Chains A and B, each alone.
Chain A
């Protein structure tokens, strides 16, 4: 019971902190102080207090987009185990639900973007859908490989099976999976080198351009949804990459939060160290991620 409560509190309160840590890391690399760690929370509060503007050319799809996306992401957050604790929701085959909840969120984000009829947002939606076509196979192949390794069909089963002993026995496959999943973590969360969350140039954006017309609380929901997505995909990634499992539950929660913050720092370091890919290079990188996870699959099936 306590674990479920902590899970819910962590899912609701922690995600914006990751953005704060990433921004501070990037600022440190750029020789700046950077915004306060809690800035994403302030931004959220500011957005929630604002009024909204809706274009007359939009329909209910545009208004429903942020709500459905956030709801889908929140539901997905209930399936992912955080650290060594069972998630509130778990059943056989929920990994498929997990993948499609994220896809549902994306579908409504792109639908809302297309609903505006703006050429920029159409371009952004086209890019998003093209890239996710290539990103989705990576997730599924990774899920299949992990499922095969653990012999379980539920997300919590396959993720919590991963441990240091598993790394000893099938380390090669896991290394490939980690590489593929890290690409997915970055592309799904629109981080450099795939997308630039801070750019204001409407012609180069992918995710940000789709939400240009949203304002106020709706935009706040989108922003919060983005941090949440980073949070759950980060937790997913950490299960595979860093399966540290202390015995004490309290210590385990601390280790979980610390490793999430470490992941945020790692993302910040990657973003500071390289430029964005040219847009035509992104599919190639995603194909590479696909190939990596496919090789992992072969190693697992061997």
Chain B
């Protein structure tokens, strides 16, 4: 059995019976993943469900023709690594090792991901004692030896107001040979809290997985719940969700373009975009009272409706903010000194991006047409997919241009939607969650593909709930973008990715 034959295929947001997913022997399972990823599929989520004797490995792959595929296997305490043949699996394998206490043999860089204790009591992939403390970021780092090579360590406490993360550079003069990133300082135990759920607080917790991607993660969670209960979201709610998701994209892309300008010391665009970002956030607040969209999305629909007055006000505000935004960004493109900094900085080849499984604007800036809204359409995007904005180059410039093109597309998309909001209710009644089901929800957040996977037990409670923020893929991309770059360009490259620390640390 090989290739697609070993997969149970389903659609984004659909629930399938756990028993329908073929259970495959470990070696065939790993072979299968390697074969499928070479065949146009990519890993959306790959995790273990810890049990007393070992762990069940689940892999959800995303493929063409709007299909998702799932397969599973069983592992006792060791498994061979496939990272050499399938680099995008490397961090997933480390995560499985950390969470399930499974040793991954021959892994090229076998280290913890978030510096946590395993979910299986008494099993630890690195043989650490259960009394031993596990401080984040402590351990071996990749080192370059030689004359004039020096090491620069940045963080976890930074000079700016950003989240904590540790960056270890191996430099030769001003040139970076290697960058290694250690995270885990923001771990809050999101997945652990979800076991046995959904709890009353779960929806609020999901909105806080990554504070700047509230709508993205909340939509993914709502899709999981709807998939399990079989609820159909009313069309009006689908439209409002899409508006909220695009507003979130606009606000963040606008903030990012401003911050990119700030990092090269170009103040006008920085200041204008900082203000306009606030305008977009206030539009979300107009809909639901929270600038970050807290409380907007609920399983079965949305908590807030959009009245015709609100729609008119939004149209007006969008027009104004869109005009200011265009002016601020035009300044950026018209300044040669800015372009000189953006162009050819932090380049990633499209081969590297494909190998690492990059997602979102970072992937699209490498010339890869990858967008969940088109590839695995969900909600309103099934009938009205926005254009995929692709830019070759893979440098900071390309990532900035992709953000701007997507902002334009989002502006037009929202204004179209506001003109043609369907009538009807915005919530559907929630049914009872089905038991022994697997469901996966993919959402294109502003950073890229958000993937939530839930497996329920016989009572319909979460046996395992796996959250994957797009940052999980893209941090490796940032590390590679820095190779042979000037260390002084790190903040610029970092900002051009603008990844989430808490979304990664969970």
Contact = CB atoms under 8 A, between A and B. Distances in A.
Interface string B150-166: 11111000011000000
A279 B486 contact: yes
B341 A119 contact: no
B489 interface: yes
Interface in B480-506: 486-492
A30 B491 contact: no
A75 interface: no
A198 B160 CA distance: 11
Identify whether the interface residues of A are mostly helix, strand, loop, or mixed: loop
A272 interface: yes
Given A30-B267, A30-B271, A201-B160, A280 B487 contact: no
B267 A278 contact: no
Interface in B254-304: 261, 263-268, 270-272, 275
A273 B268 CA distance: 8
A26 to B, nearest CB: 6
Given A193-B337, A274-B337, A276-B341, A201 B491 contact: yes
Contact of A275 (B160, B337, B487, B490): B337
Identify whether the interface residues of B are mostly helix, strand, loop, or mixed: helix
A203 interface: yes
13 contacts: A30-B267, A31-B268, A119-B151, A120-B152, A123-B487, A192-B265, A196-B265, A199-B265, A200-B160, A204-B263, A204-B488, A275-B340, A277-B340
B488 A279 contact: yes
A202 interface: yes
B489 A278 contact: yes
Interface in B62-114: none
Contacts of B489: 204, 278-279
B77 to A, nearest CB: 40
Given A200-B160, A204-B488, A278-B341, A119 B267 contact: no
Nearest to B271: A30
Contact of A278 (B151, B261, B340): B340
Interface of B: 150-154, 159-160, 174, 261, 263-268, 270-272, 275, 335, 337-338, 340-341, 345, 486-492
B152 A123 contact: yes
Contacts of A302: none
A56 interface: no
Nearest to B486: A279
A91 B181 CA distance: 58
A42 interface: no
A203 B338 CA distance: 19
Interface of A: 26, 29-32, 119-120, 122-123, 192-193, 196, 198-204, 212, 271-281
Q: Which of B150, B261, B337 has the most CB of A within 10 A?
A: B337
A278 B339 CA distance: 11
A119 B152 CA distance: 6
A12 to B, nearest CB: 30
Given A31-B271, A275-B341, A278-B341, 8 more contacts: A31-B272, A119-B151, A123-B174, A201-B491, A204-B490, A274-B335, A277-B337, A278-B486
Contacts of A277: 337, 340-341
Given A201-B160, A278-B486, A272 B491 contact: no
A272 B268 contact: yes
Contacts of B160: 200-201
A276 B153 contact: no
A198 B263 CA distance: 10
Contacts of A192: 265
Nearest to B272: A31
B248 to A, nearest CB: 25
A230 to B, nearest CB: 17
Contacts of B267: 26, 29-30, 271-272
A198 B489 CA distance: 16
Contacts of A278: 340-341, 345, 486, 488-489
A278 B492 CA distance: 11
Nearest to B332: A275
Contact of B272 (A26, A30, A119, A273): A30
A279 B268 contact: no
A202 B486 CA distance: 14
A273 B261 CA distance: 12
A171 B184 CA distance: 63
Given A200-B159, A202-B159, A275 B488 contact: no
A122 B489 CA distance: 17
A213 B249 CA distance: 39
Top 5 closest pairs, chain A to chain B, by CB: A30-B271, A275-B264, A276-B265, A274-B337, A201-B491
A268 B198 CA distance: 56
B486 A280 contact: yes
Nearest to B152: A119
A301 to B, nearest CB: 34
Nearest to A192: B265
Contacts of A120: 152
A33 to B, nearest CB: 11
B271 A32 contact: yes
Nearest to B267: A30
A271 B488 CA distance: 19
B332 to A, nearest CB: 9
A146 to B, nearest CB: 30
Contacts of B488: 203-204, 278-279
Given A30-B271, A119-B150, A274 B266 contact: yes
A204 B151 contact: no
B65 to A, nearest CB: 44
Contacts of B340: 275, 277-278, 281
A270 to B, nearest CB: 11
Nearest to A34: B271
B335 A280 contact: no
A27 to B, nearest CB: 8
